[in-house]
Amino acid sequence: MLHLNCKFKYLKYNKSFESEEHEKAWFIRVSINTYKDVLKNFFHSHTVSLDKVESAFMTEPLQHPEVLEAVLSLPQNYRTVIYLYYYEGYKETEIADILKKKVNTIYTWMYQAKQILKKQLGGE
C-alpha cells in the first residue's frame, strides 16, 4: 500500500526534479511521511484512552474489581503496558513500537508491574 501511495503521489507531482539525487530524496521523504501517516492512523483508530476504560469498567459489574483498581493505581508506564497487553491484546513487540521503546524495556516494565500487582493483590 505504501508503494502505491508513493507512486500515486509521484504521478500527481507535476514539477521536474533538479537531478536524480533530488528525485531520490523526494521519494525517501514521501515514503517516510506516508509511513508515519499509516502508523498514526492505525494507532489512533485501534486504541482507547485509559480514562474511557476506567469509566466503562465502572459501569459494568466486575468479577474482580480489586484487580482493575490495582492496575489503575500503577505508575503510568507500568499501567500502560499492562493495559495494552492484557486489555487490548497487544504483544510486547507491538507495545514497544507503539510506545517507541525497546522491547527489553517493555519486558522489564511488565515484570516490575506484575511484581507490584502480586504484592498488592497477595498472590500470583
In the chain, where are the structural domains located? 2-45, 50-121
Is 89 a residue whose pLDDT tops 80?
Answer: yes
What percentage of the chain reaches a pLDDT higher than 70? 64
Look at residue 55 in the predicted model and tell me its pLDDT: 60
pLDDT value of residue 2: 47
**Residue showing cell 514497544:** 96
Neighbour-count burial for 43-63, b at 16+ CB within 10 Å, e otherwise:
eeeeeeebeebeeebeeeeee
Burial of 84 (C-beta count, 10 Å sphere; 0-12/13-18/19+): buried
User: How confident is the model over 17-63, as pLDDT tens digits?
Assistant: 778 887 777 777 777 777 777 666 655 566 666 666 656 555 444 56
CATH topology of domain 50-121: Arc Repressor Mutant, subunit A (1.10.10)
Output the pLDDT for position 103. Answer: 92
For residue 102, the model assigns a pLDDT of 93
pTM for the complete prediction? 0.50
